[in-house]
Structure 1
Amino acid sequence: MVTMSLWNRNAQSLVEKRAGITFLGGMRIDTTFIRSFVTYNVSTEVELSLSSDINFYNKIAMCMQLKQPDSVIRHNIHKVERIPGSKHRLRKSKYSSVTVPGKTYALNRKNNEMCTTIFGGDES
């Protein structure tokens, strides 16, 4: 996304990229006295966003910000146990998630100075 204003003499752009990954696994135990099956999956989706603000009102200044928003890691486990020759059957499921806090990456000193010039010290 790019926006430009000739009246205010500034421009903004935003580039967002996402990627996800999932791991799936399972294990089976078959013996004469017990049968057990466990499956699990772990998944997450992360995002990076690069924004740039350009001010060409007086002196040209450009501020770039690289941010990673919060992401969530999900982990699910499913377990089934059976005893052959009986009606015993056990099913258990466990669901958990962990939030990974987002962050803003510092690019370099000159970029930080330009961000201070554009935003007046509010953002960097």
Structure 2
Amino acid sequence: MLFIKEVGNNMPIDPEFMNKSTVGEHNGHKIRGEVKPPLKLGVHGTSVAVDHDVCNGDGICISVCPVGVFDWVDSPGHPLSDRKSDPVNEPACVFCRACEAQCPVQAIKITEI
């Protein structure tokens, strides 16, 4: 028997995420949008924003970032993955956009502010 996991709408990060209200902070960065763990985790970060509801936890952003902006954060029970990439060192970003270009699910948006 084949079981299919419900994974949401498979849409990239909302380009208007900055217009959503800030609902909290995590590891020194802001969280925007709806947050209802474990299913809805919001967009983490500002200049380096990661939509934790889109992130599939493959870690490509961690491996391509030349300045170590990202680290793992646990997300137990989320339908896509039990860990997410988190912009814990957001101020170090040099805006090379390697993470944004390599993210296979388009969960990252870099904004020079």
| Alignment TM-score, normalising by the size of structure 1 | 0.24
Answer with 1 or 2: which has the greater Rg.
1
Report which structure shows greater RCO (CA 8 Å, sep ≥6). 2
Q: Which has the higher strand share?
A: 1
| Alignment TM-score, normalising by the size of structure 2 | 0.25
